[in-house]
Amino acid sequence: MRIRFWGVRGTIPTPGSETIKYGGNTSCVEITTADKQLIIIDAGSGIRHLGKELVKNSQGRITGSILISHTHWDHIQGFPFFAPVFGRTNRFVVVGKKRVGKQLEETMAGQFIEPYLPFSYNSLPADLIVKEVKDGETLIIGDDTRVTVADLNHPGGCLGFRIESNGVVFVYCSDVSHYDDGFDQSLLQLAQGADLLVHDSHFGSLEERKQFNEYGHSSWIEAVQAAIEAHVGCLALFHYSPDLSDEELDKILVKAREIFPQTILSREGMEIELPLNHHSLPE
Ligand SMILES: [Zn+2]
Ligand SMILES: [Zn+2]
């Protein structure tokens, strides 16, 4: 299974001189399974570059699944700029959840409308199938890829995804908050024994997380503790606050590795092949 990060930032795209190393685009991760299935998780601003790359390398139609953790803007704002949706022969299954009583398709389509954008969702040439899922559901993609979803603790909810294929396990939990007196048990269960866990690491300190608890995010130290508790092979910190600079992230990595040496910082452009070779962590 190959993982590629296209956007690792939370909340809002954050370009600039302080975010060059890890990147300023919002959430988007590409997964290619052993049987060559394309799975995209989240459609933050990072999906624009991925779309260009897919079009450039395609020999005909592009097909895949797009898993939407939740419809907060930083997870869907890139979708109208995902070039493959403008290709008539392309086909995507968009998977996610209803929110505030609105169907997923209605929320996704709600971005493509005046006064926000000059074209409509219904005018998109690609074949888009929207599938709503429930907590605990498992989908089968391709020959043998199992995608299990779980509701995580985040305002209005956020789906975590456990992707199992060809004996390897990748888990994505982008927006989640633990509790002062314990972990989000759904996350621990979902992440159990994963080869790689991508975990919310929005805040640079636990104090900050407690101060802004209502935002529903984690500090890096909680990500580390959850990774240890869930016995994962490797932890990738993810969904950094727009206020965290490259320099601050470098410092966080040093501190995180003192507690859990198998920690990495997700970074735009980073590629990881699973299963990992534990003698050399991805840089
Ligand atoms: Zn987010
Ligand atoms: Zn969110």
Could you report the per-residue pLDDT of 38-59, keeping only the tens digit for each? 999 999 999 999 999 999 999 8
Global pTM exceeds 0.95: yes
Ligand 1 (single-atom ion) residues, CB below 5 Å: 10, 72, 74, 175
- pLDDT digits over 110-139, tens only? 999 999 999 999 999 999 999 999 999 999
The Å distance, Cα 10 to ligand 1 centre, comes to 5
**Quick one: pLDDT at residue 59?**
87
The Å distance, Cα 279 to ligand 2 centre, comes to 34
What topology is assigned to 2-273 in CATH? Answer: Metallo-beta-lactamase; Chain A (3.60.15)
Residues 6+ apart with CB under 8 A from 150: 135, 136, 159, 160, 162, 186, 187, 189, 190
Report the C-alpha gap between 67 and 31 in whole angstroms. 11
Q: Where are the domains of the chain?
A: 2-273
